[in-house]
DNA sequence: TTTATTTGTAACTAAACTTGTTACAGTTAT
DNA sequence: ATAACTGTAACAAGTTTAGTTACAAATAAA
């Protein structure tokens, strides 16, 4: 383990919700499709709820539904809801500040990090959940 | 720990080599600037050597130097040498193949993954090690 | 009002990965 | 011959991840 698959599962979960948009979907049902434990799904749904992508209802005949139409949800929003975009990590320990390279490299890498994040975000923003649904349908053929 | 900082360290290491391009640089010297153990640096240098970015020499008065001019080394090459570009991971377990979403979502996410990787690669390819050196110098002011 | 169902969440485990560290074999200049 | 290096194996400690059990709280339905 130890490699973040939350975005993959989140896209899967939201696609399930979109295809069952008429009612509230239960975490057990989603978990069966994702092939995992319902608690894993509920944990993820909490993050998606914080990001205002879904609405959950507790109690009997509760469940979750999308907060918006699939065409109004971008993959960028999904990504931000469940991951913090870091293509690479900074130095584990602060570099030697007495070395001219060590003193300045962190700030440069930090700027680069942000620039890449923005690039990824722009790419992911090109796709909506609706696009994913259409791809799933097309794939079926 | 448990967050890959190899790219950050690789850029740091290569910048050190570029600024000491006249001779062979020892792992102990680099480790002091990076503030880590020389073995960590040597391990990284092995990866950079496999990618033909540096040349190392064993034995007394050995060390490492760049294999090419800094302006001919892109950050994209560095990234590929030390990381395998994965912005997100696939499902840990294969989704339920009896569910239309579960059956198709993996292929779609895989294509998306590759597309994002290409985007990141293009972004990183815009910068060379020479650019980083210039940024380090400029930062110093 | 009682009961069954469902989310939310805490606590724990096992696996994977990362860096740091020690140790040492092999290579090379002096 | 000796000292100084790299390359690499082996292990420890810390972090993160998904999976799991358990249960409190909320809610619909009987």
Place of tokens 């097309």: A138
User: Could you count the other beta carbons within 10 Å of the beta carbon of residue B110?
Assistant: 12
Q: Burial level of A45, CB count in 10 A (0-12/13-18/19+)?
A: buried
Cα Rg of chain A, angstroms: 19
Examine residue B1 and state whether it is found in any structural domain, yes or no: no
| Residue at token pair 């090459």 | B77
A138 min Cα distance to partner chain B (Å): 9
Nearest CB partner across the interface for B88, out of A7, A92, A103: A7
Judge whether B26 lies within some domain: yes
End-to-end CA distance of chain B: 33
Q: Are A65 and A22 in contact (CB under 8 A)?
A: no
Residue A1 is assigned to a structural domain of this protein: no
* Cα–Cα nearest to B85, from A118, A87, A90: A87
CA distance linking residue A105 with residue A115, whole number of Å = 15
**Which residues in B lie closer than 8 A to residue A99 (C-beta atoms)?**
32-33
Range of the domain at B67: 6-140
The candidate with the shortest Cα–Cα distance to B79, out of A127, A106, A109, is: A109
- Mean pLDDT of all residues in A37-53: 98
Structural domain includes residue B64: yes
Residue nearest D27 (alpha carbon to C1'): A59
Number of domains present in the structure of chain B? 1
Per-residue pLDDT of chain B (141 residues; tens, 9 = 90+): 667 899 999 999 999 999 998 889 999 999 999 999 999 999 999 999 999 999 999 999 999 999 999 999 999 999 999 998 788 999 999 999 999 999 999 999 999 999 999 999 999 999 999 999 999 999 865
What is the chain A residue with the closest CA to B34? Answer: A95
Domain of residue A24, CATH code: 1.10.10.10
Query: What is the rounded average pLDDT for all residues in chain B?
Result: 95
User: How far from chain centre, in Å, is Cα A78?
Assistant: 4
- Under the banding of pLDDT at 50, 70 and 90, the label for residue A25 is very high
């Amino acid at each position: 383990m130890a490699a973040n698959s939350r975005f993959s599962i989140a896209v899967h979960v939201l696609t399930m919700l979109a295809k069952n948009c008429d009612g509230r979907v239960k975490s057990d049902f989603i978990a069966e499709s994702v092939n995992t434990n319902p608690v894993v799904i509920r944990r993820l749904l909490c993050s998606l709820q914080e990001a205002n992508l879904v609405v959950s209802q507790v109690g009997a005949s509760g469940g979750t539904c999308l907060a918006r139409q699939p065409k109004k949800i971008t993959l960028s929003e999904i990504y931000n809801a469940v991951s913090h975009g870091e293509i690479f990590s900074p130095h584990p320990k602060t570099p030697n500040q007495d070395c001219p390279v060590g003193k300045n490299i962190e700030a440069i890498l930090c700027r680069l990090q942000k620039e890449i994040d923005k690039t990824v975000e722009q790419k992911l923003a090109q796709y909506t959940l609706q696009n994913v649904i259409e791809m799933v349908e097309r794939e079926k053929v």
